[in-house]
Structure 1
């Protein structure tokens, strides 16, 4: 069977106050075109359909129309909620999704059958997919209490909770069936794309690939925006986002993943690039150096490497009308400058900072000195 794996659409994402809805529509239209050309049997959308928990009506319209268009290709479509999605709101759309022939799961429920989706391809191949929406740390124990946890089990780590959920949902894989898992989570060793919500990618939220049963044919993940393969007991991949979400992702290759697999063969995956409508680009230099650059229609983040002065930002904005972020970064903090600062007091460092920023106001320095003295002498 043939599977199209995509995730992290983030429809409704606003970049530095600028709506990118037209670009997002173009990116998803390209995903739909890929689905029409590739003719997959199953399409897996691994979370973060929206960028926030209160999407605009326009963003919701884009998501529902996109899922409908993917279903119209003839493929089965299974989509789950991510950490940016409102899981309850997605579940409220389930009557619509069911009527449209789309499987939509926003939150983890107490019904195992809600998360074990089964189907048969047009060619007669049977498949089974465990669909696990994003599970926040604070709801992990509550979700697992539905399955009669002991007190010791309730005190386990987030990774243990995810592993236990998967063991409940993925138990007894059937012979002659393609066994799949789709989840929205961080796997240990995964490389962040640059625009993820860090609180949900670090510390207690990372799980090892060992949580996935070895007899799983393919694990389709969402959450990290960079397409990548994870080493594990079975094939595990992030599809990445079909559009760069923020400037930290400008070097990522936007794509979807196509997978071919059968009950008796190992999954073979290939990356299919998604054309970029409007690129994101970071440029750096003096005013003279920046003026010599050709930037096209890209959205820009500009670092100006010369001291700040009145009217500098306005000058750069006039030079680059598509600059969404302008930072004056003269590069003072060289290794030599850092060495000079070693061993100096906080008031001395603050005085240096004021001087570098073109301000030597004695009142500001005096206020800092007084506040620093107050906090440093608190017993």
Structure 2
């Protein structure tokens, strides 16, 4: 069986005020061309189809047309919601998706059986796929309660909830002669962040160990981290990465999709197919004289200027480099006041430091300093 694994499209992304819809159209058109050439049996889009929970009509049009075009290649298409997506809104598109032959799962709903998708290739190979959309900590307990967990179990960590959900959803993986697959939008402990993910959803509170995946799974297709990479796991597990660099934190990533060949008696073999359609993102730095030698006409630029700040400097750089989306003084040119601030704080009492804070904030309200003194005295006496 052959799988095309992609994720993190982030359609609708605006970079430093620049709309990138044309780039997304080109990128997704190339993904479709790869599907036509590779002829996968299954296409998995592992979350974050959109960059925002309220996508524009244009962004919705691009995503739905891309999914439809992938379906017309003859592959079964499965797409799940990510943390940037509006899961219930994706679920509201289910009637359209069902009519188009697309398996769309936006959120974890009351019927967990909907998250297990079954199919068969033209060659007769049977497969089953657990499709787990992004689940925030806020809703993890609510989702876990569907499986009649005890109160003690419901108080377990987010990772425990995810592990229990996956274990419940993959119970049928014991069936012989069936290819077992799983897709999810998760941060895995030990994986390398791609630089552009929303930090609030990639912190350790949202990270889960790879041991949540069942060892009898033949391939796990992950989304969320934008750098393509394999993950050490009880079963073959991989992030496909994003098909374009979402922001300048990802400029070193190689946009790609993953092509996976796997069978019940054949270990998963993965190869990345690059997606060069989107304009690259590059950071350049130097004096005006040095920047005048930069020759990157096809890239969006972040420019760090090694010049003394002055009026009109930004305009001079943008005239020289029209593709500069961000222009600022190189941080190395700015004075480092951290040591000075530490010296100013040295030897000063908490009362004095708090007084300095109030002065800097312009807070002259009566009683604030006295209240701090009372609280400080109370805490100090307790210790």
Q: What is the TM-score with the length of structure 2 in the denominator?
A: 0.89
Distance in 2 between the 1:314 and 1:44 partners?
A: 44
CA distance in 1, matches of 2:344, 2:124: 74
For residues 79-228 of structure 1, what are the structure 2 equivalents within 5 Å? 79-173=79-173, 174-228=175-229
CA distance in 2, matches of 1:344, 1:302: 33
Deviation at 1:305, TM superposition (A): 1.6
CA distance, structure 2, for counterparts of residue 249 and residue 180 of structure 1: 28
Give the alignment of 1:230-269 within 5 angstroms: 230-269=231-270
Structure-1 separation of matches of 2:159 and 2:338 = 42
Q: Superposition RMSD on alpha carbons, in Å?
A: 2.0
The number of aligned residues is 358
- Return the alpha-carbon distance in structure 2 between the equivalents of residues 161 and 250 of structure 1: 34
Contact 1:305 1:329 in 2 (8 A): yes
The question of whether the paired residues in 2 share the 8 Å contact of 1:191 and 1:224 is answered with yes
Query: Separation in 1 of the partners of 2:342 and 2:207?
Result: 38
Long gaps (5+) in structure 1 = 348-366
Moved more, 206-215 or 299-308: 299-308
**Does structure 2 conserve the Cα–Cα contact (< 8 Å) formed by 1:70 and 1:77?**
yes
Measure, in 2, the Cα distance between the counterparts of 1:270 and 1:306: 44
Partner of 1:341: 340
2:67 equivalent to 1:67: yes
Name the CA distance, whole Å, in 2 between partners of 1:246 and 1:63: 20
Cα 1:230–1:346, aligned 2, differ >3 Å: closer, same or farther? same
Change (3 A) 1:301 1:169: same
Change in Cα spacing, 1:330 to 1:249, as seen in structure 2 (3 Å) is: closer
Does the 8 Å contact 1:307/1:330 carry over to 2? no
CA–CA separation in structure 2 for the residues paired with 1:324 and 1:158 = 38
Structure 1 stretches of at least 4 aligned residues deviating more than 2 Å after TM superposition? 337-343, 367-379
Question: In the TM superposition, what is the alpha-carbon distance from 1:340 to its structure 2 partner?
Answer: 5.6
Asked if the contact 1:306–1:330 (Cα under 8 Å) also holds between the matched residues in 2, the reply is: no
State the distance in 1 between where 2:90 and 2:331 align.
47
Unaligned stretches of 5+ residues in structure 2 = 347-355, 374-383
- Deviation for aligned residue 1:298: 1.2
What is the deviation of 1:274?
1.0
Contact 1:4 1:256 in 2 (8 A): yes
- C-alpha distance in 1 between matches for 2:314 and 2:362: 35
SS of 2:183's equivalent in the other structure is: strand
Of the structure 1 ranges 266-275 and 26-35, higher mean CA displacement relative to structure 2 is found in 266-275
**Contact residue 176 and residue 264 of structure 1 kept, 8 A:** no
User: Does the C-alpha gap of structure 1 residues 343 and 88 become closer, same or farther in structure 2, counting only changes over 3 Å?
Assistant: closer
- Per-residue deviation, 1:373: 9.1
Q: 1:297: how far off?
A: 2.4
Give the 3-state SS of the residue equivalent to 1:143 in structure 2: helix
Structure 1 residues 307, 150: CA separation in 2 closer, same or farther (over 3 Å shift)?
A: same
Q: Does 1:320 align with 2:321?
A: yes
Correspondence for 2:352: none
Q: Tell me how far apart the structure 2 counterparts of residues 307 and 104 of structure 1 sit (CA, whole Å).
A: 53
Give the secondary-structure state (helix, strand or coil) at the position aligned to 2:172.
Answer: coil
The answer to whether the 8 Å contact 1:7/1:241 transfers is yes
Residue of structure 2 equivalent to 1:362: none
| Contact 1:185–1:222 under 8 Å retained in 2 | yes
Question: Counterpart of 1:229?
Answer: 230
Of the structure 1 ranges 67-76 and 168-177, higher mean CA displacement relative to structure 2 is found in 168-177
Q: CA deviation at 1:291?
A: 1.1
Instruction: Give the TM-score normalised by the residue count of structure 1.
Output: 0.90
* 2:30–2:277 CA contact under 8 A, matched in 1: no
Distance in 2 (CA, whole Å) between partners of 1:83 and 1:115 is 17
